[in-house]
Structure 1
Amino acid sequence: MSYALSGLASRKRSGSEDSWSSSEGRDASMLNVETAGIVATSRSGASTTSTASDEGVVLEASRHNTAEKPPNNKEKGRRRKSVQIIIEESGKKGRYTLTADDPEFQDIVRSSIEREASKLSGKSRNRFRDLVFTRQFTTFDRQNPRGAHSPFYGFFTLFWLAMALLLVKIAANNWRNQGSVFGRAEILHLMVDRDLMVMILTDGGMAFSTVFGLVLQRAIARGYLTWGGAGWIIQSLWEVFFVVSVISVSFYREWSWTHTVFIVLHVFVLLMKQHSYSFYNGYLSRVYRRRKLLEQKLEQLEEMEAQETPGDTSPTPPTEEAISATGMDGASPSTKLHHRRSIGPKYSTNFSKEQSEIATMAKAIEAREPLNAEQIQAFTRGLETEITILDEELRGKCTTTGNCYPNNLTLPNFIDWTCLPTLVYELEYPRQDHINWWYVAEKAAATLGVIWIMIIISQAYIYPVVIEVVRQKEAGLTLDQRWKELPWVVSDMLFPLLLEQLLAWYVIWECLLNVLAELTRFADRGFYGDWWNSVSWDQYARDWNRPVHNFLLRHVYHSSISAFHLSKMGATFVTFLLSAVVHELLMFCLFKKVRGYLFALQLSQIPLAALSKTRVMRGRDTLGNIIFWVGLFIGPSLITGLYLIV
């Protein structure tokens, strides 16, 4: 059974954008709605209504959702008569919280909101893709109703029980062989014996230096620079300097791999945060300048006197199509706001080169060409409508005008953004009402505990293999002799590296990001999807790391299309290429040599993703999932073995 959102009605504007905000996660369980109710209609035509006033959003069931995958035979046979929906007061006048635990309902509501937002904003090649942030929990979070009642919850318990027994086994072997349950703890000594404070100070200085983006944006907002001129060039050069200088410090200090991994990963996180903050605010600065220019033109137009008969040089009056498109037919700008696209580029500030109705009006006003009363009235309505459109763009996701551009360019806002567990900058995000400190303590303890487990597994099963390969190289074994050892090295690290990969993912995307989200009251916990069910590599790339995926989607994929006019295929290739370069750079920092193994395997995901869409693989989800897990199982140990041996 599938649903389609047939309409969004009676949204309260009161100077604010829709409060439906969101990332592309699929597991939303709570939505902030400015409407008062929901009407759910079943296939049979009967309806269940929950309303608090006459306003509402209509959710209509259809035979299938054309934007989604058609239901399979099992889904067709499973027809539910109702879906439980809870609507609670949010504490703010006219706003309510909708809660629905049903996964199908959540998926369809999110996709419907995104489609509606796409219709409202037009289907032009926007500079920035509009993401939607909603209230939701991660899959393995105990707060998630779906996770707590999952039929596979017992396997989650079994996994951690197995981890506990594994640690007991390792401790017993260490006690028997070395007289200590901790063994020699070489990895722990690598982490704490040398340059620990230097690394912490470097990390702090690195985070503090990101305030450069705030300083630059404030200078642009005050008119000292323009983003379209020198602004974006200065920011880009700073980002290059930022990455190169931090990586150079790690090389100069000859840090161990533990320090290097932490610093390099954090430098790229801060790089993406700076880029998103600066380029989005830079775009808004151009919108802000355009609005100011149009306001100036509107003031000039008000000072002009209407001519009874236009001269020969007067501009041609707007056509009926232009009047209808720009809201000049007598209707108020707010009425036409969501039934049209902006008459010109929202960020253009050069009316002499711009080809649009607004540019024509601006040039006519600037030239002081004689206009009759009808033309002045039409020009006034067109300019006011365009200014209203730009006001909405500057407001973004803000539910109040207090944080819209340029009011958001403050140090508290920047610090708050730096701490948020997202890489895509927005003016406002859905927030929780309070912090659950017991939850913070629970997740913080889990973070430290999982890191400790990873250290013990690395010490027991990975470190000895690495040391043996290094010893063989130092002993003078030829490359041919070392090649013969590759299969054994790969087999020895298969299970430990797969386990480390799973634990590293869990500690970052389930534990650490949830700690940051709780401390910042960040409500959208859609940090990952069910990537373990992936049937193709492009699905895995979308689901296993949603924050980075959203960043690449907005600032690489869609920016490549809008700024460089690439095709979708070209933008996809550029996105994978950039990801491959960054992964190979991490390998270079770790092994101090360039081999390109990881770079090649990253790019191989493009043909593999294309293969999954062919007739041979289409519909064979089990086979696709097997191929995915085989690659995830063998890939890390194969790559590590290649970099160690060659």
Structure 2
Amino acid sequence: MAHTNGSTYTNFSSLNGHPGLSDEGLRSRRGDSHLKPEFPHHIDEDALSSGRSTPLPQDAPPSMKSIHQAKKQKRRKLFPTVDYEERVSHFDPQSKHHDFRGFFALFWVGLFIMVLTTGARNIKETGRVFRTSIFSLFTDDIQGLAVSDLLMVASTSLTLPLHKMWRARSFGVGWGNGGYICQYILQLVWLTMWIYWPFARGWVWTHQVFFTLHTLVLLMKMHSYAFYNGHLCETEKKLHQLDKNTLSTEPKSDTALREVLAYELTSPTGLTQYPRNLTWSNYLDYLLCPTLCYEIEYPRTPRVRWNIVAEKAAAVFGCVFLLTLTSEEFIAPVMRDATARLQEQHTVLDALLVLGESINSLLFPFMVSFLLVFLVIFEYVLGAFAEITRFADRRFYSYVTHDVPLPRVFSSSSYFS
């Protein structure tokens, strides 16, 4: 995913080449005014319709007409965005990047040889193909882990009804005058509760690692959904405020602001706009989409290829097996041996030599584990969910190489500072 670099805007200032395009800055230019945007009595429906939605009524307010026109435009958004494109992974057979295809095949050949030699050695030493001490951890309280994870995912859905409440300004509280603070408090309480949960349950370390990582992912998803929609809520509010202008003339700055705000409320493809995205189906789709950055709409593939889903799922289990095998055979024994040897040392120099030898023995297994973790997350798990949801942008590892989602996920609150 390509990152569109952009500064953080406060009070909608410095928008699209209009320096100081805030409410105060725009309305201070009293000398620049022209007729308020009007439409002829006999409106051409093609002019008001994008061809993909119902034409607007004749008496539609200017804000609705601006949104309708904005669906046909392409420009830079106010919110720091991620440009989602329909493209395949570098590891996909259809990718144009063939330079490291041979190295990729060699990597898997090397792992296959590692499995064969490890199995042969274990048969000779223990009479069994593989050790099972770590494998046995996966089945420990697996039902409790599944139920807890499902409840954690379901608890994030509080964000949607809360946002609808902020938008309706229930109890006089909107997003910009206290709603985002309540969202911060909710996220803090939510994070504290679910981070504590695996330790309170006394789960084994494999369950704790999985649950904690999933907690952090859901926290970022929840934050992005809440604050991006909060930004759109304030944008809609400002746009409707422009409709209250009853003067026969309107400053040019107001017209420019109306166009910018209308475009901000529309999806990149122009097929929908805020607040039509505030549905349970849209939220569930976002939870399943392999991205941390919420967008009203994402590019989609024409259909789900279930053979690819099966292939990705099999690859996930294969990588988990290889990760467990690497830990079981090449990491855990070194750690146990180092612990025993360190207890026998009486000088600092001897202890440092044991540490150096152990670290040297762990370098290659850790490198293999890192590569496998990268593959299982950014290529196979996310690839499977992308195929199921028809999410078209498969360049997931841009998150790591270009740090794409962090500005969007963590700096969104600055719009209301």
Question: Measured at CA, do residues 287 and 167 of structure 1 come closer, stay the same or move farther in structure 2, by a change above 3 Å?
Answer: same
Contact 1:23 1:524 in 2 (8 A): no
Partner residue of 1:229?
177
Partner residue of 1:486?
355
- Tell me which amino acid in the other structure corresponds to 2:257: E
Residue 489 of structure 1 deviates from its aligned partner by: 1.5
Q: Matched residue of 1:186: which SS?
A: coil
- Tell me which amino acid in the other structure corresponds to 1:377: T
Residue 294 of structure 1 deviates from its aligned partner by: 2.0
Partner residue of 1:466?
335
Partner residue of 1:24?
3
Structure 2: distance between partners of 1:393 and 1:479: 66
Structure 2: distance between partners of 1:206 and 1:454: 26
Match of 1:205 among 128, 151, 155: 151
Show CA shifts across 1:213-253 (max 9, x none).
11111111222131112211111111111221112112222
Partner residue of 2:87?
136
Match of 1:439 among 287, 295, 308: 308
Runs of 5+ unmatched residues, structure 2 = 5-49, 53-72
Structure 2: distance between partners of 1:418 and 1:270: 8
Residue 378 of structure 1 deviates from its aligned partner by: 3.6
Partner residue of 2:372?
503
Structure 1: distance between partners of 2:308 and 2:205: 32
Partner residue of 1:556?
410
Partner residue of 1:333?
none
Contact 2:289 2:385 in 1 (8 A): yes
TM-score by length of 2: 0.77
Match of 2:221 among 266, 269, 273: 273
2:249 counterpart of 1:377: yes
Partner residue of 2:136?
189
Residue 553 of structure 1 deviates from its aligned partner by: 2.3
Partner residue of 1:423?
292
Residue 133 of structure 1 deviates from its aligned partner by: 1.0
Partner residue of 1:153?
101
Question: 1:76-155 to 2 correspondence within 5 Å?
Answer: 120-121=75-76, 126=78, 128-144=79-95, 146-147=96-97, 150-155=98-103
Q: Matched residue of 2:169: which SS?
A: coil
Contact 2:85 2:392 in 1 (8 A): yes
- Tell me which amino acid in the other structure corresponds to 2:218: L
Residue 398 of structure 1 deviates from its aligned partner by: 4.3
Residue 464 of structure 1 deviates from its aligned partner by: 1.0
- Tell me which amino acid in the other structure corresponds to 1:179: G
Q: Matched residue of 2:83: which SS?
A: coil
Show CA shifts across 1:467-489 (max 9, x none).
2344467x586794644421012
Partner residue of 1:263?
211
Structure 1: distance between partners of 2:210 and 2:347: 31
Q: Matched residue of 2:241: which SS?
A: helix
- Tell me which amino acid in the other structure corresponds to 2:336: I
Structure 2: distance between partners of 1:143 and 1:464: 41
Runs of 5+ unmatched residues, structure 1 = 1-21, 26-91, 95-115, 303-375, 530-541, 565-646
Structure 1: distance between partners of 2:190 and 2:344: 39
Structure 2: distance between partners of 1:420 and 1:515: 10
Q: Which has the larger radius of gyration?
A: 1
2:279 counterpart of 1:410: yes
Q: Matched residue of 2:296: which SS?
A: coil
Instruction: Report percent identity of matched pairs.
Output: 32
Question: Measured at CA, do residues 260 and 483 of structure 1 come closer, stay the same or move farther in structure 2, by a change above 3 Å?
Answer: farther
Question: 1:290-305 to 2 correspondence within 5 Å?
Answer: 290-295=238-243, 297-298=244-245, 301=246
Residue 427 of structure 1 deviates from its aligned partner by: 0.6
Partner residue of 1:391?
262
Match of 2:320 among 440, 451, 476: 451
- Tell me which amino acid in the other structure corresponds to 2:194: V
Question: Measured at CA, do residues 476 and 242 of structure 1 come closer, stay the same or move farther in structure 2, by a change above 3 Å?
Answer: farther
Match of 1:217 among 163, 169, 181: 163
Question: 1:596-635 to 2 correspondence within 5 Å?
Answer: none
Q: Matched residue of 2:134: which SS?
A: helix
Runs of 4+ deviating beyond 6 Å: 476-479
How many positions carry a matched residue from both structures? 349
Q: Matched residue of 1:409: which SS?
A: coil
Question: Measured at CA, do residues 430 and 488 of structure 1 come closer, stay the same or move farther in structure 2, by a change above 3 Å?
Answer: same
Structure 1: distance between partners of 2:152 and 2:137: 22
Structure 2: distance between partners of 1:378 and 1:217: 32
TM-score by length of 1: 0.51
